[in-house]
């Protein structure tokens, strides 16, 4: 910038005004500055600019998700990116792998680099550690899961409702022995979905049966083993509710290994590529992760734009998509 100033024969302040599109500069001076910028290939150092500016905004945000490579979270990521991009804001992304320590490290690292805001899929049991950042002006929005021990905006799917709809659907097909395959109970979406599952069973007058609930499943392989286990047990379930995308994949594998994909019903949570192309097609509770991400980013920017009202919780509805696997009647059913 010093070079630009001397080439253009003006002061640093004037160059700064021109590159910041401040119009209180005489046209001929502005033109000279612009020429110098072009000749020298000058580009403003945004980090230095942030340091000195009154608003201290960096035009960057941080995104913490479980795994950037999980299709559900990468769709959330894209939603956030698109909204940020429209505002000239860049996105840091990081995977927590459901490790609270990692979540915190990422939040620290983002904050130390001066992000304007943080969009977080929380996995820790307490996000109170973020209050210092919020108090110092960092906007905070939680996505996919609500915050704990901190007051902030959040966008979540209707997890309990979606799970309830899934189980009601299976009950309507005649099932009474419906297994639940879920992620770790520390993951709030897993707990919510189990709650919906239990509520639907109770509403149908079906007693809870702990042996049919398998939780703490991490990844498709663990789900495959757990589902296989259930399928060969005496008094096996006639239907499976696989409450997460990778868990549904594992359940599909297990059903095929035991050649039960046309005997035992399956409803998954969250859609997966090709789920409509396997036979039978996989009935799923669809979420809209892209919209989740967009809404989260929009809440974030509304805070950065000065909105200062109460915390908002935005719930995105889910939708059951019947494709075949969820409409299989129980083996011994009379019709």
What span, in angstroms and rounded, lies between the C-alpha atoms of 269 and 278? 16
d(CA 138, CA 149): 17
Give Cβ neighbours of residue 85 (< 8 Å, ≥ 6 apart).
Answer: none
Q: Does 16 bind DNA (CB under 7 A)?
A: yes
Residues in 247-266 that interact with a second copy by CB under 8 A: 249, 252-253, 256
Find the binder of DNA among 31, 39, 40, 48 (CB under 7 A): 48
Q: Which does 16 bind (CB under 5 to 8 A by kind): a second copy, DNA, none?
A: DNA
- The minimum distance between CB 10 and DNA, in angstroms, equals 4
Q: Is 278 in the site for a second copy (CB under 8 A)?
A: yes
**Residue number with CB closer to a second copy (155 or 252):** 252
| 40 is a site residue for DNA (CB under 7 A) | no
Give the shortest CB-200-to-a second copy separation in angstroms. 27
> Closest CB to DNA among 16 and 127?
16
- Which part of the chain contacts DNA (CB under 7 A), choosing from 20-28, 65-73, 130-138, 192-200? 20-28
Q: Which is nearer to DNA, 292 or 304 (CB)?
A: 304
| Residue selected from 41, 234, 306, 332 as contacting a second copy according to rule CB under 8 A | 41
Instruction: Tell me the C-alpha distance between 282 and 272, whole Å.
Output: 9
What CA–CA distances, in Å, run from 18 to 2, 89, 230?
Answer: 13, 21, 69
Give residue 97's region: left, alpha or beta (phi > 0; psi -120 to 50). Answer: left
- Residues 4, 1: Cα–Cα separation, whole Å: 5
Distances (CA, A) of 277 to 137, 280, 282, 289, 291: 48, 8, 8, 21, 24
The entry of a second copy, DNA, none near residue 52 (CB within 5 to 8 angstroms by kind) is DNA
> Which backbone phi and psi does 37 adopt, to 5 degrees?
-60, -45
- Which residues within the stretch 290-319 sit at the binding site for a second copy (CB under 8 A)? 290
Residue of 86, 279, 307, 322 that binds a second copy (CB under 8 A): 279
According to the binding rule CB under 7 A, does residue 232 interact with DNA? no
The answer to whether residue 31 forms part of the interface with DNA (CB under 7 A) is no
Q: What is the longest distance spanned by two Cα atoms in the chain?
A: 92
Q: Which DSSP category does 178 fall into?
A: E
Question: What is the contact mask toward DNA in residues 111 to 150, using x (rule: CB under 7 A)?
Answer: ----------------------------------------
88 dihedral zone (left: phi>0; alpha: psi -120 to 50; beta): left
Instruction: Say whether residue 50 binds a second copy (CB under 8 A).
Output: yes
């Amino acid at each position: 910038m010093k070079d630009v100033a001397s080439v253009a024969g003006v002061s640093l302040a004037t160059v700064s005004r021109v590159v910041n599109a401040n119009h209180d500069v005489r046209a001929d001076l502005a033109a000279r500055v612009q020429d110098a910028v072009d000749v020298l290939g000058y580009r403003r150092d945004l980090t230095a600019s942030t340091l000195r500016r009154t608003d201290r905004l960096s035009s960057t945000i941080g995104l913490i998700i479980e795994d950037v490579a999980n299709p559900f979270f990468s769709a959330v990521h894209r939603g956030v990116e698109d909204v940020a991009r429209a505002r000239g804001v860049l996105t840091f992304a990081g995977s927590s792998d459901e490790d609270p320590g990692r979540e915190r490290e990422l939040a620290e690292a983002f904050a130390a680099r001066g992000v304007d805001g943080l969009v977080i899929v929380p996995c820790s049991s307490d996000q109170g550690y973020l209050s210092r950042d919020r108090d110092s002006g960092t906007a905070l929005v939680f996505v996919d899961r609500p915050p704990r021990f901190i007051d902030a905006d959040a966008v979540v799917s209707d997890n309990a409702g979606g799970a309830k709809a899934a189980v009601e659907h299976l009950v309507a097909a005649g099932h009474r022995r419906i297994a639940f395959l879920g992620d770790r109970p520390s993951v709030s979406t897993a707990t919510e979905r189990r709650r919906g599952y239990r509520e639907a069973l109770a509403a149908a007058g079906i007693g809870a049966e702990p042996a049919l609930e398998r939780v703490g499943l991490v990844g498709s392989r663990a789900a495959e083993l757990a589902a296989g286990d259930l399928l060969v047990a005496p008094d096996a379930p006639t239907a499976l509710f696989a409450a997460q995308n990778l868990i549904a994949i594992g359940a599909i594998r297990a059903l095929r290994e035991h050649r039960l994909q046309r005997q035992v019903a399956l409803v998954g949570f969250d859609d997966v590529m090709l789920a409509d192309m396997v036979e039978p097609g996989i009935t799923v509770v669809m979420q809209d992760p892209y919209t989740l991400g967009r809404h989260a980013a929009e809440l974030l920017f509304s805070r950065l734009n000065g909105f200062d009202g109460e915390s908002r919780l935005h719930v995105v509805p889910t939708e059951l998509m019947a494709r075949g696997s969820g409409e299989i009647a129980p083996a011994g059913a009379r019709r």
